[in-house]
Structure 1
Amino acid sequence: RKVQGSATNSNDVRAAVEGADSILVTLGVKSPFATTLFSDSARILLQTIREMGSSPTLIVLTGFGAGDSWGYNSLPVKLLFTLLLKAVYADKNEQEQLIASGYPRWEIVRPGRLTNGAMTGHYRVLDNLAEGMRVGAISRADVAHFMVAQVENPTYLGKYPALTY
């Protein structure tokens, strides 16, 4: 079903998630400067779910570089994030912390750099952080493919799978 609204309006969120078995969260911002969209929407979503007394599976899109994956980025990527995306990733960090510490059924999906390429269905899912790991580009279509597959069979509950080619 299609519901139009704002991720930071509790009435809109309630209309969107009522009766859902799973919820995909795929937010983005146009400006790389100060934002609280990710954390504000996480708070509202969690509060709405608690009020409804339901426990759908949450499949949440953030990005590689959020949370503990920050240390596994290359130096050039760290510099880019620090210069251009610091506020966005600070807010994504808070979003991840709110979801992971405040809800029992979640997956936080961390793709590499998003592209507009076609869906291939062929990508790597890295569920353990390791020195020297490389998380590069992946198409939005392949990220969507992965997230929808997780709705049907959530194999990474309580984990932070990274997606890349």
Structure 2
Amino acid sequence: ALRCFLDCVSGIDPTVVSIWVGVAIDGIPESVLIGLLAVQHRMSVPFIASVFISNFPEAMSCASLCTLQGMKWYKIVMMWSLLMIMTGGIAALTAAIFDHLTNFHKESASFYRVKEVAEGVSAGAMLTCVSAAVIPEAITTGGDIAGFITVVGFLAAVMVKVLELIYTDQSSPS
């Protein structure tokens, strides 16, 4: 897999590689979190939507940079498919491990600590990738509108959470 990735990115701008590696690093704690939520049967549509929304700009900017630099479309698809397989595999492995740990109860404080660490590391990795690679590249190529679009993206993520809270308040018995 690493050889395939290195073949794909040879001669490509380091910004593209740093975005892809950042998304890969960000994908590890996200995958662990997805696996933990699956074990607890607490996977929600707003959570899946927020993961998609948070990763979409990084993927689109990296893919468009790859296209501008002449990378073949199938190599771009292969790069992102590799990440998809990696994150799905880690999520499945996490769910399998934590589902079979009898001394690690799903409602215990230890389980919630692991989940909170995964959430924190995931959020930190995403912000690091966005602030170190995506935003500078967006400002360079997109100009001043990039800042506005960044704010709109964060507002979209907040709105998903607000809608989740409104929906859960309305659907819970009073």
The TM-score normalised by the length of structure 1 is 0.30
Q: Which has the larger radius of gyration?
A: 2
Between Structure 1 and Structure 2, the one with more helix by share is 2
The TM-score normalised by the length of structure 2 is 0.29
